[in-house]
């Protein structure tokens, strides 16, 4: 009952009608082609589902880590800036405690959609875990990344979320920004820098964007070998 493709045959010499045997052959070819297209479509759907967080509708942690490594490698080759923005909701736990996890999940979904609306189509929005979100912004210099970060924070602060009991809630958000290569040259250092900046924003009262620069990652001692 669905059209997923069209097969067009053109007679090169003169117009003619297909015979019964020819028509069956063409129908068999079209069916085989349709089966192949349907398999590709289903595989794409499965891959997309595996990359998405079901609660928020944005990408999941696994996809985030994969794309983060890819974008760091690409920025290293092209010498282009790359921004990582980490956001955490302020005082989100009382929403779950007072209204239940179903309403809390609805708030997370709304905020995920708001973040996607504030960034470019090729930026990557992902749920890092809990009520933390990360945005990867390829080819984005620090000044532009800061503008986007502040726009996202302002959008969340101004939003009201309708609960099942008819009341409305607002949540705060704190954001930390890290930019390749100034704040880190690996996926781990960039995330740590963004995370440290985010918690600095929280300590300053939240509801703002911070950028703290690179964070040193301790190196585990390697035992001497004989």
Q: Show which residues are catalytic.
A: 131
Cβ neighbors of 126 (< 8 A, separation 6 or more) are 53, 58, 59, 60, 61, 63, 64, 67, 133, 134, 135, 136
Do 171 and 106 touch, CB atoms closer than 8 A? no
Residue identified by tokens 């398999």 is 39
Helix residue ranges per DSSP H, the chain: 20-51, 61-78, 93-99, 101-118, 142-157, 187-203
Task: State the Cα angle at 77 between 86 and 116, rounded to 5°.
Answer: 30
Cβ neighbors of 153 (< 8 A, separation 6 or more) are 87, 173, 174, 175, 207, 208, 209
**Closest residue by Cα to residue 154 from 107, 120, 114, 127:** 114
Task: State the Cα angle at 58 between 136 and 61, rounded to 5°.
Answer: 65
Could you give the 3-state DSSP secondary structure of residue 35?
helix
């Amino acid at each position: 009952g669905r059209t997923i493709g069209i097969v067009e045959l053109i007679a090169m010499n003169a117009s003619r009608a297909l015979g019964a045997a020819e028509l069956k052959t063409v129908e068999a070819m079209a069916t085989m082609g349709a089966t192949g297209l349907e398999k590709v479509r289903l595989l794409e759907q499965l891959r997309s589902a595996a990359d998405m967080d079901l609660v928020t509708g944005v990408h999941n942690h696994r996809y985030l880590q994969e794309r983060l490594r890819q974008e760091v490698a690409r920025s290293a080759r092209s010498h282009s800036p790359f921004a990582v923005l980490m956001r955490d909701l302020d005082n989100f736990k009382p929403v779950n405690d007072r209204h239940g996890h179903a309403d809390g999940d609805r708030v997370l979904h709304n905020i995920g959609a708001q973040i996607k609306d504030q960034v470019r189509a090729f930026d990557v929005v992902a749920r890092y875990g809990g009520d933390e979100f990360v945005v990867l912004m390829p080819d984005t210099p620090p000044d532009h990344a800061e503008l986007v970060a502040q726009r996202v924070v302002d959008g969340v602060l101004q939003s009201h979320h309708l609960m099942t009991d008819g009341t409305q809630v607002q949540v705060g958000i704190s954001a930390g920004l890290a930019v390749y290569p100034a704040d880190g040259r690996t996926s781990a250092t960039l995330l740590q820098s963004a995370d440290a900046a985010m918690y600095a924003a929280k300590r300053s009262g939240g509801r703002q964007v911070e950028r703290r620069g690179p964070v040193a990652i301790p190196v585990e001692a390697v035992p001497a070998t004989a």
